[in-house]
Amino acid sequence: MFLLFSCKSNYGIEDEENRPTGLSVEFIRQPETVLIIDQKPEFSWELPKTAVKQLSYQILIASSLELIENNKGDVWDSRKIVSGQSINIEFEGAPLEVGKTYFWKVKIWDAANKESLYSKFQSFRIGAKENIITSANSFQIESLKPVKFQKLNADSYFIDFGKAAFATLEFNYKTTKKDTLVFHIGEQLVENRINRKPKGTIRYQKIKVPVNPEQKKYTLSIKPDKRNTKPVAIKLPDSFPVLMPFRYVEIENSKGDLQLKDFTQIAYFSYWEDNTSHFESSNPILNQVWDLCKYSIKATTFAGLYVDGDRERIPYEADAYLNQLSHYTTDREYAMARQTLEYFMEHPTWPTEWQLHVALMFQADYMYTGNTELIEKYYEDLKHKTLVELKREDGLISSDKATPEFMRKLGFKNPKDKLKDIVDWPPAQKDTGWKLATKEGERDGFVFKPINTVINSLYYRNLEIMAEFAEILGKTDEAKMYEQLAIQVKESINNKLFNASIGAYIDGEGTNHASLHSNMMALAFNIVPEKNIESVVTFIKSRGMACSVYGAQYLLEALYNANESDYALELMTATHDRSWYNMIKIGSTITLEAWDMKYKPNADWNHAWGAAPANIIPRYLWGIQPKTPGYAVAKIKPQLKNLKSSSIVVPTLRGQIKATYILQDKIERYIIDIPANMNVEFVVKPTSKVKVNNEIKSSKLGVIYLEAGNNIVEIIN
């Protein structure tokens, strides 16, 4: 893996309004900082601010800076191509040479066939072909100053950097003789001092630093952790120092007068642009939850792949899927998800449900990028990840049927590897010996049976996805097979796993127990027939937050799918100990692995799978999602009625969707700025009175169509 560092810049943010901006190569916004390993890369851009729609484009790729500055494409000149496509334009010139740097730019013709200026150029360098097709994005280093600097006594100080980050510490120190400073760094405070005996995997280290008169600048020598540097862990680049997540620093044995300006937290992230997303509302707790979750996604990019946090630094499929969704809604970054996906095809993990998350990751990538390369490459292998080979006559699957031969098809290499149903995590006390606050763990008393409702709900969604992928690849017969199998599985779940007497789904075949998980998963994946939605929702609401921070993703999706936005918002803004606000209240600035340490005694304080609101708020509260691949058509279905106001910015490959909302005198007023080359289906109640730009629109179909540009939508329900 070839890695370079990038620094934040205004590259691509142009003063001129009549030229394309937001250029990317292989979805990477600063391609000059990396190696592009796809020998036929894809190019994307945002239309000029003066355009609403693109009719044609022309790409130039040159072998020198001089040629591109003179608008000459000696490597590829596409000429004028009549097409509205502005993303995923595949290179079609002469073969590119490994190790060579190229330069590209683009211009477009708008809806009036008016020609734009050329964009500013980008450069990119071609790397050697690898067994994967995804180019790794660059890392960036941020130098962060303390937000609080306090002298504790004659020779000790306390520093707070405001947020935890995967980082090291640089400092300046003058001394007239050899001496030793003592540093304490950590994530958690107890009585306003760093917790030096934290529970679980909350991080803390004591570090002694020899100082001498000849040296003024120092970097902490953080000790590597034995567990997260094992061979199975993701290895950080050799150029990185040892990183540890910390927010606080205490210094002892200082003989000089230390100052704030002498200390810098050197924090490591993958490429990130803070200003690509935004959310604010009239609910201050929701705002704090958003800030926590958005920063959690940024902070946990330090490894270049989606990892489980700092304890193991291993990618897990379900963790990665939640991370992927939230990354898409907080920054315009797609390369990391694609690279993690390719990693999973060679390095699977053991939970049954985790294998069923791989297709979900592929489908999310396809919808947000519009790119089919990963589907084309991995389609045959992905069939195994759906676990379709474990089905019985009625279509339902059981992990008990997984043979060693099948495990090899999934990518497992050890003959002893087996799938194990997980449902949620952590499990009950009897499985772990932990003294948990609830004896059921985070599974709501789930009863495991060979035919498992949670697994088969995920399996049903996998079949829907595979039918879509088969259709994309022109495999019509296979598409029909998956469609028919999905219908069969849905019928079997409803016929065999729904208990009409309680109006809810049981956990599996052979038990009468019904858990939150069985019902929220069925509702999240649209398995529940219309006639049963009310009783399933009633059951779900009776269970509260009886799931983990991972399960909360599907609980919230289920509620918004059922138009239960009031209760969903209540859960996201709750202040009890099973809430995101609890994470803030106990002092973390990155989401926890569990709701509270008492629910998972070995939890860490830097787990992105706990950041579900980072994607739930844009995708469900505001209801902004791609309707067609690559966001050619967006769907907006806001469920904001319990908020008086809100504003949001959502990144897409085509540009930012910007929107504001105000509820006043029972009128919902939306101002929605839609990027060029995008249309929007705005969902409304069929009985609503709707105006768009002061013009009355029919709402009978439940959808109002909006075009690129500024739209003012007023709804009277």
**What is the per-residue pLDDT across 172-205, written as a single tens digit (0 to 9) for each?**
999 999 999 999 999 999 999 999 999 989 999 9
Q: Superfamily assignment of 138-311+573-621 in CATH?
A: Galactose-binding domain-like (2.60.120.260)
Average pLDDT of the chain to the nearest whole number: 95
Q: Which CATH architecture has domain 21-136?
A: Sandwich (2.60)
Residue 13 has pLDDT above 60, yes or no: no
| Model pLDDT, residue 1 | 36
Crossing angle for the helix pair 358-369 and 317-330, nearest 10 degrees? 20
Query: How much is the average pLDDT of 387-414?
Result: 97
pLDDT band at 256 (very low <50, low <70, confident <90, very high): confident
- Bond from prior residue into 426 cis (ω within 30 degrees of 0): yes
Residue 212 has pLDDT above 70, yes or no: yes
pLDDT band at 5 (very low <50, low <70, confident <90, very high): very low
| Model pLDDT, residue 433 | 55
pLDDT band at 613 (very low <50, low <70, confident <90, very high): very high
d(CA 229, CA 159): 28
d(CA 137, CA 29): 9
- For residue 233, which of 166, 339, 313 has the smallest C-alpha distance? 313
d(CA 323, CA 331): 12
Question: To the nearest whole percent, how much of the chain has pLDDT over 70?
Answer: 96
CB 47 within 8 A of CB 677: yes
d(CA 589, CA 583): 8
pLDDT band at 9 (very low <50, low <70, confident <90, very high): very low
What's the pLDDT tens digit per position in 469-525?
999 999 999 999 999 999 999 999 999 999 999 999 999 999 999 999 999 999 999
pLDDT band at 3 (very low <50, low <70, confident <90, very high): very low
| Model pLDDT, residue 427 | 84
Per CATH, the number for 629-716 is: 2.60.420.10
| Model pLDDT, residue 10 | 43
| Model pLDDT, residue 11 | 38
pLDDT band at 432 (very low <50, low <70, confident <90, very high): low
The three-state DSSP-derived secondary structure of 567-583 is HHHHHHCCCCCCCHHHH
One-character DSSP codes across 685-698: -TT-EEEETTEEE-
| Model pLDDT, residue 585 | 98
pLDDT band at 6 (very low <50, low <70, confident <90, very high): very low
Please state which of the ranges 79-83, 158-162, 209-213, 439-443 shows the lowest mean pLDDT: 439-443
Buried b (16+ CB within 10 A) or exposed e, 279-311: bbbebebbbbbbbbbbbbbbbbbbbbbbbbbbb
Crossing angle for the helix pair 476-496 and 453-472, nearest 10 degrees? 160
Query: How much is the average pLDDT of 515-539?
Result: 98
Query: How much is the average pLDDT of 664-683?
Result: 96
Q: Which CATH fold topology does 348-564 show?
A: Glycosyltransferase (1.50.10)
| Model pLDDT, residue 33 | 94
Residue 297 has pLDDT above 50, yes or no: yes
pTM given for the model? 0.95
Provide the residue ranges of all domains of the chain, joining segments of one domain with +.
Answer: 21-136, 138-311+573-621, 348-564, 629-716
Positive or negative, the Cα torsion across 114, 117, 120, 126? Answer: positive
Residue 218 has pLDDT above 80, yes or no: yes
| Model pLDDT, residue 4 | 42
What's the pLDDT tens digit per position in 553-590?
999 999 999 999 999 999 999 999 999 999 999 999 99
CB 126 within 8 A of CB 146: no
